[in-house]
Structure 1
């Protein structure tokens, strides 16, 4: 199995497109740091933060009073802002002013979708490409089961995605430290199950990135399944990218009216909603529920990929 994975890894890095992906990611990180350092340098907050926090509390309370029929998602956002601002005032915790290393690392979490895009491209072509180039026959004539061949390809996709994610995190920390200095000692405040909690920025950042891998893994798995079933990398890329960027948005609109939206894959891929980083799409969702839904989709994707790949006749 190790030799199969090594062989797939060599194939990926023998393509110029792989280095283009890595280069684009590096340029995005450095570009974001440069823009925030030199263009946004003048955007420093002024005034009494306590007065501003109190004004924000009163504004959010007024919004809740005047819009009692507002969607649950928006209501949760307002309640979260109120609770965090009240906690700041009660415990004299000033908001972080300006940028620092950890704020830059967390800002670059927005680029995780780009990492997902690159992982999808690799997943979409890793099986379909063998059929397109005719090299699938060379793989199947070897005394190795089809299951092992397909599994090695899938593991390679996950390793590639993990490598890009680690690159994003580490390089963001390095660039952030160079441009903005250390991360400071102020805690990060999160709103979980009706209470405000303090977390270290390091712990919050690592958790934020790790939980974001769930979305990448599921979308790459979907692309891998489509690639194995339909032998078309363009179809796998097109469907997966459309769902990556539009799935969550469409699910959010549906969840405003229908609770059954919680059974959608895209309502459960972002587990950060259970860490206080964002509100839940449907109020009664739990971590156990989301994990169960994700496992069901994960098993279905793999059953389709492995059953079809093992039964397909490639003699022609």
Structure 2
């Protein structure tokens, strides 16, 4: 009996040792791609996009090793995607290497935040528009959502070092203040948000040639949803209500925006549809009219005047405001016992 117990104990110890070394293929790749400063890039030193489905052979590994810190970004979900993936992998494997890698990524997010609470698109790369406070493609909100989950111990982040939790709480509060400061005042009323801002003045800025200074609808929906996750105070309540009112007043009634594929190419079309509403991707700040940018830097007020390459290569309308108005906002009001 004693020998049996001893054998079982030895087996359990051996099994626990094996379990501690369980590996997740995707997480392993993410650690290889992680940059020295803790962040991740969206493309490699050879300008090709990071592809986690690709096998890392000696040739690709050489390219990855040539990646430097200037590639680190929160654009296109980079860095936040990897941190979330590593935390998920740690949950299933208990492999400490994944947790340490995620914590290094969290530290990178904390290090890139400006004192005013904003986040640049890239860090430390500050060339052209990369240093601007960036909501475009949900960059800043993705970063803040990771830090919010760290601070609150949600979505598996309860395992993170307590010191990072405290720092994340401070970062989230600074981020919220930046969000409130950057909500655009339009003709004396709070509206929504621009895609990017000057990192010093917090004034709306343009980015790429076809991304003019404007109000940005898709990203603003994501910002409002993030604010809805926070404890309510008068500033946040006013911000949310003002944004939802803007969406309701700025909708384009009776249209839908559809994307299909033909011969491998995206076909984007705005068409009439009863009972459906859309919003332009960008609205002119002074006039609140839909605007469209082109490769040559020109701004059009007519969608049909945009070059075919940009018209078919960019999403110029969305329907994201519908769920915000019809579902998310009423639920938020009810949850917080707030009158409309």
Give me the TM-score of the superposition, normalised by structure 2: 0.28
| Higher share of residues assigned helix | 1
Q: Which has the higher strand share?
A: 2
Which has the bigger relative contact order, CA under 8 A and spacing at least 6? 1
TM-score between both structures, scaled by the size of structure 1: 0.29
